Amino acid sequence: MLIRYFAVSFFLVFFIIGCSSKQQSSQVYNKPGSYWYKEILKTVSMGNLDKADDAYTSLASEHVASPYLKEALMILFNAHLEDEEYLMANFYLDNYIKKFATRRNIEYLKYLKIKSRFKEFKHPKRNQKLLIDTIGEAKEYLQKFPNSLYNPMVETILTKLYLTQLILNKDIASLYKRLGKDKAAKIYMQKVNDSWLKDTPIATSDKSLFEKIFQ
């Protein structure tokens, strides 16, 4: 019985070590850039963005000047954007802008960044800094590229952001008023009165309002 116990134990230990060695040996290193690019395409098509991210990490670390990096970044940006993983999408877009932005494509890339940040507003009431930052980026875009073909879209996004800001300021003013903090309530009501959208009819109790704005 004791001999059988040791035999089984030895087998289990050997099996675990064997699996571990097999797993380590299955890890891939020092492959050409084309290999990692194909891995990105394959894993993105399968919907496995985690593995696609890993493949990009290998591509970027093993081939810092690879011509595949440019297209890989945009593929992963669009894949994460489609999957509503906006932080990762913006990560890839930021890297693309740093590495490959030119005078010819910067207008489009900056527009994509604003559009992506706009789509990130799943819970606008919890992202006030993101709201303020995106408003600033949209205003800066319109000033920097006054003749851009993308200005009508940026202006539409900016209007929706201002409308969101108006709703938030009204909600905050109402909350302070209910809490008896009249001074704070007046500050936020002044922000409401300063808005060019102040006369817009808004039903702030409608929970689906933000969803309608950010569609």
Q: What is the pLDDT of residues 171-197, one digit of tens each?
A: 888 888 888 888 888 888 888 777 766
Model pLDDT, residue 201: 59
Most confident of 18-32, 112-126, 156-170: 156-170
Query: 51, 27, 23, 57: which is closest to 39 by C-alpha?
Result: 51
Query: 55, 53, 56: which is closest to 28 by C-alpha?
Result: 55
Query: 160, 159, 186, 156: which is closest to 173 by C-alpha?
Result: 186
The ranges of the chain annotated as CATH 1.25.40 are 25-100
CATH 1.25.40 fits 25-100, yes or no: yes
Determine the Cα–Cα distance for residues 158 and 134; give it in Å rounded to an integer: 8
Taking each helix axis from N to C end, the angle separating 106-119 and 128-144, rounded to the nearest 10 degrees, works out to 160
CB neighbour class for 87 (10 Å; exposed up to 12, middle 13-18, buried from 19) = exposed
**Which has more pLDDT, 18 or 21?**
18
Determine the Cα–Cα distance for residues 170 and 101; give it in Å rounded to an integer: 40
Q: Is 165 helix (H, G, I), strand (E, B) or coil?
A: helix
Determine the Cα–Cα distance for residues 57 and 28; give it in Å rounded to an integer: 12
Determine the Cα–Cα distance for residues 23 and 92; give it in Å rounded to an integer: 29
Q: What is the pLDDT of residues 45-89, one digit of tens each?
A: 999 999 999 999 999 999 999 999 999 999 999 999 999 999 999
Six token digits for residue 196: 């060019």
Alpha helices in the chain, H assignment, sequence order: 2-26, 33-45, 49-62, 68-82, 86-100, 106-119, 128-144, 151-178, 182-194, 209-213
| pTM (two decimals) | 0.74
Model pLDDT, residue 16: 43
Taking each helix axis from N to C end, the angle separating 68-82 and 86-100, rounded to the nearest 10 degrees, works out to 160
What distance lies between CA 73 and its chain's CA centroid? 13
Model pLDDT, residue 83: 94
Q: What is the pLDDT of residues 98-129, one digit of tens each?
A: 999 999 999 999 999 999 999 887 666 667 88
Model pLDDT, residue 153: 96
